Structure 1
Amino acid sequence: MHFDGPWSSYASLTRIIGSVVDVWPQHQSKLARDFSLYGDRDRAMLDSIAADILSALGGDVREAAGDYRWTCSRMLDAEMRFRRDGSSANASVDDLLSGIYGSKDDTKRYMNGLLLSQILWPQHAGPLLYFRSEYLASVLPGAVHLEIGPGHGLWMAGILQRDSSAQLVGWDITRECLSFTESTFQRLCPDLKPRLEIRDICDNTWHRPSTESEGLFDSVIASQLFEVVSEPKVAALNIHRSLAPSGRTFICSPINVAAPDHLRRWMHEDDLLAVLRSAGLHPTKLLRFGNQPGAQKIGAGYSLVVEAARSNVGETR
């Protein structure tokens, strides 16, 4: 794909978008329309992220472009199912593990598709741009970060690229998912490795006192989490327990969006915010990212970013 004017200077973006358009020509107009929303600063940052994605892929960009188209098709299937009968793609974590994450090939295709979505979908690119440029700038060097469900590893790798003294821990519920995080770090940060653990944030044993991770983390990142966990309230409580007294959490969740790995659809952001507040997570900042300006006002899907601090459990400020 050729970009007129300043676009032509963004080599990594052009390579990825060109590969996507090669396998999906009909997608070109939407990509051009979406990228018109960004200014020069954001385009430059997206090009840097695109370079990271190319490195993480190890050169398989055309294959990943096909996986991106496949992922978009699965997203459409999930949306059509919800509109047809009001149900999400999965009723339980077992459904999830036997569905999109039940096949190594499907898991790889989905991870690759989501990796490209980090620069191609405004509702994913916007939160990532904010995370890298604003949120991380407000976290002290050497902080201890936890990412729950690090997946393709792009968010976590961005932390160490900014602060090599940071300490990183990643939790996910399957070894297969963590393998993608490991692969990204091997290619982007071979000398800086996180501690990756198979762990369920909805583990009810966290209700017992004196867990090994209680109060440990300065920062907890939970992007695309609360729509895929079995018990959102338990997950929020355990995030609260894991935060240091002055710690903060960065939460990003889709609102009014269906996907093949979702257990629920948050129809209104107030429903998610009520869960967070009831678990003692006090929102200090709310940001919304959609396909077009004002998308959330007309009932379209969008991403909600919540920065939150610890407060007393049950507080509803």
Structure 2
Amino acid sequence: MINIEENYPNLWQVMEQIAKLSPFQKKAVFKYCEIAEQRYFEFAEDVVKRMLNVIDRDDDYEYLAKTYLWYTKTIRVEEMYFAKEGHYRYSEFDDVYEKVYGRDDYMINYVVGLGMTQIFWENHYEIFKFFLDQYIPIVKDFKFGAEIGVGHGLFHSEFLRGCPHMHSKLLDISPSSLEMTLRMIKATGLDPTRAEPNECDIQRKIPLDDGSLDALLMGELIEHIQDGEAVMAKMAKKMRPGGFCYFSTAANSPAEDHILLFGNIGEIRKFIDGCGWKIEKEHLGTLRNMTVKEAEDGGHNINYAAVLTTK
């Protein structure tokens, strides 16, 4: 077994803090480390190092652990609501903006906690691998890109690292997310001026020219938007011929800021097709080793990621 404490000390310190604060999460985190591949530990250590640089706090390891546990708890609350009611808590974007995106202090904790799930949730780690292995290689020589809904910045920093000629635009309604993404790019050892931040509500206006993009990231975006179909169709027009989009979403995936509900994978594929996109590659992920059918029948979370082109 890998000696995490010796070989991956930053990851270990966060794990130790989680263990102190939550025996239940300790079991889940340490259990996964017993079966994880070597690549996982290298990735996780690197993510923690960058997160430490980004947050720049005296209580750094404890803060990463606490925000991860807090975020996990918010998801559990929404899962219980969804299981009881059969729908997400919010259906109006203004309600979500007031609760999450419009509160800088809340949003910082939210995106840090979400970022930590990339290393402590197996389904999120597998999606990140799909992004690195299946998307980055086909856009590595492209020059003009954008990400809509930048979150914690981990995806965009890897996007710029894997595409050395890329200059991109960052579009997000949250100034906290934009700032964190620029800090994450810098923490990755890259020039943050390669990415131009744009604070905007893409449901009202998308500040991109038609036919201007070689590469587009729309990871975990659509479920946050009230009229996802309109945005998805408009984004198809922003692509150049031969361009590629990284897209991810989820079915039956309650969270405080999720609005658009997909009930199964068929609904996601139909949505993509109806908005002018074509699926080139895709990845499906479930929890607790369920089959996709078991997850669909039981109304459980299914993660979906794809490489898309326009029709």
Structure-2-length-normalised TM-score: 0.89
Distance of aligned partners of 1:155 and 1:281 in 2 relative to their CA distance in 1, 3 Å threshold: same
CA contact (8 A) 1:160 1:192 kept: no
**Secondary structure of the residue that 1:146 maps to in structure 2?**
strand
The 5 Å alignment of 1:1-317 reads 4-8=1-5, 9-59=7-57, 60-189=60-189, 191-193=191-193, 194-203=195-204, 212-299=208-295, 300-311=300-311
Distance of aligned partners of 1:179 and 1:44 in 2 relative to their CA distance in 1, 3 Å threshold: closer
- Note the aligned Cα RMSD (angstroms): 2.1
Whole-angstrom CA distance in 2 between matches of 1:86 and 1:164: 45
Q: Which residue identity does 2:47 align to in structure 1?
A: I
Whole-angstrom CA distance in 1 between matches of 2:192 and 2:208: 23
Whole-angstrom CA distance in 2 between matches of 1:49 and 1:109: 16
Deviations 1:37-93 (A, max 9, x none): 532233333333333233223252311211111111111111111122223132211
Whole-angstrom CA distance in 2 between matches of 1:260 and 1:109: 13
CA contact (8 A) 2:148 2:172 kept: yes
Q: CA deviation at 1:174?
A: 3.1
Q: CA deviation at 1:309?
A: 0.7
Q: Which residue identity does 2:255 align to in structure 1?
A: A
Whole-angstrom CA distance in 1 between matches of 2:284 and 2:3: 27
Structure 2, unmatched stretches of 5+, are: none
Distance of aligned partners of 1:212 and 1:229 in 2 relative to their CA distance in 1, 3 Å threshold: closer
**Secondary structure of the residue that 1:169 maps to in structure 2?**
strand
Q: CA deviation at 1:280?
A: 1.2
Deviations 1:106-139 (A, max 9, x none): 2121111101111111121111122123321221
Whole-angstrom CA distance in 1 between matches of 2:153 and 2:187: 11
Whole-angstrom CA distance in 1 between matches of 2:228 and 2:177: 20
CA contact (8 A) 1:64 1:109 kept: no
Q: Which residue identity does 1:200 align to in structure 2?
A: D
Distance of aligned partners of 1:35 and 1:56 in 2 relative to their CA distance in 1, 3 Å threshold: same
Whole-angstrom CA distance in 2 between matches of 1:212 and 1:108: 26
Whole-angstrom CA distance in 2 between matches of 1:124 and 1:87: 23
Q: CA deviation at 1:6?
A: 4.4
CA contact (8 A) 2:139 2:163 kept: no
Deviations 1:171-205 (A, max 9, x none): 112323322223323433463321111233333x6
Q: Which residue identity does 2:82 align to in structure 1?
A: F
Tell me which residue corresponds to 1:315: none
Q: Which residue identity does 1:164 align to in structure 2?
A: P
**Secondary structure of the residue that 1:227 maps to in structure 2?**
helix
Structure 1, unmatched stretches of 5+, are: 312-317
Q: CA deviation at 1:286?
A: 1.4
* Count, aligned residues: 303
Q: Which residue identity does 1:155 align to in structure 2?
A: F
CA contact (8 A) 2:183 2:192 kept: no
Work out the percentage of aligned pairs sharing the same amino acid. Answer: 18
Tell me which residue corresponds to 1:314: none
Q: CA deviation at 1:262?
A: 0.5
